[in-house]
Amino acid sequence: MSAPLDKTIRLFVCVAVWLLGSEPVRSQAPASSNAVPNAVPSVAVAAAPGAGVKMVSVGHSFHVFMPNILREMAAAAGIQGHVQAGLSSIGASRVIQHWNVAEGKSKAKEVLTAGQVDVLTLAPIFLPDEGIENFAKLAHEKNPAIRVTVQEFWLPHDWYEPPNMQANPKGGDHNSVTVAELRERHNAYFRAMDEHVKELNAKLGANVCFVVPVGQAVLALREKVIRGEAPGVRDQNDLFTDAIGHPKPVIQVLASYCHYAVTYRTSPVGLKAPSQLGGEKADVALVKMLQQLAWQAVTEHPLSGISAQ
């Protein structure tokens, strides 16, 4: 036998032995089920909401109106046991300001530490904001089943200039901003918040944080207003009390519908109008439109945990 042939046979034998002694790729263990994807897993949409949740809310003036409205919505839906266990309200605040409240004076941290809260709602302004992670870690540590919802809001002054709120260079007229400009400014903010939520879930090793896309719903509403398709709303300035963007009842209710959808994983469409819109005297077409816009925003967002499918 020639030397080259002998080397070839030995090489073949070695390769065969290696293959026989190796595990095929298909038998490898699957990736950990704790891996956090870009989109949080969506749950099946319930035909009707289940039992009430115990929740705590932390935020500023673009958020703290929500708990009372959500409580009314839960009652309208026939939900038993909805409880607002705590509220931390600081004007124009970052979440870290709520976290830094002196020990013993924070109702939010007190009830979270007790581990009996089902949902924690947070309303950041801009990043960086260490408070979001601090609250999420505490909440998850004390109750691994808790859901932490992060409200993505509409931009103050219709302007994105982190880390501080800046006045709109075009002035205080909300009608002066085009849809294209609104989309461009908000999308940069939305991307930053979405990435932060995904990073937090990866750090926690579980899908704890979810997005409530209030800002997206407000943009959709403003587009309707511009096109003259929002019953009873003349123009964009009709939605706000000031140049900063503090909301009138229409946006307050729209935001609360978004929170209702994410909290109870069911559509708000069909709920009776809340008192903020006049209750039984409310414009039925306007109420239905707000409910639909909220549900659309929530089901289209990959981090809300809900899909219309």
CATH architecture of 42-300: 3-Layer(aba) Sandwich (3.40)
**Displacement of CA 232 from its chain's centroid (Å):** 28
Which residues pair with residue 247 across a beta bridge?
Answer: 240
Q: CA–CA separation, 301 vs 210, rounded Å?
A: 10
Beta carbons within 8 Å of 171's beta carbon, 6+ residues apart: 243
Q: CA–CA separation, 281 vs 271, rounded Å?
A: 14
Q: CA–CA separation, 57 vs 204, rounded Å?
A: 20
Question: Does the N-terminal peptide bond of residue 163 adopt cis geometry, omega within 30 degrees of 0?
Answer: yes
The CA dihedral of 93, 99, 102, 108, to the nearest 10 degrees, is 100
Q: CA–CA separation, 19 vs 270, rounded Å?
A: 63
For range 6-26, the mean pLDDT: 37
Which residues pair with residue 83 across a beta bridge?
Answer: 54
Domain residue limits, the chain: 42-300
Which pLDDT tens digit goes with each residue over 43-80? 767 667 789 999 999 999 999 999 999 999 999 999 99
The per-residue pLDDT for 222 is 98
Which pLDDT tens digit goes with each residue over 181-239? 999 999 999 999 999 999 999 999 999 999 999 999 999 999 999 999 999 999 999 99
Q: Taking a C-beta distance cutoff of 8 angstroms, is the pair 138, 115 a contact?
A: no
Q: Taking a C-beta distance cutoff of 8 angstroms, is the pair 148, 196 a contact?
A: no
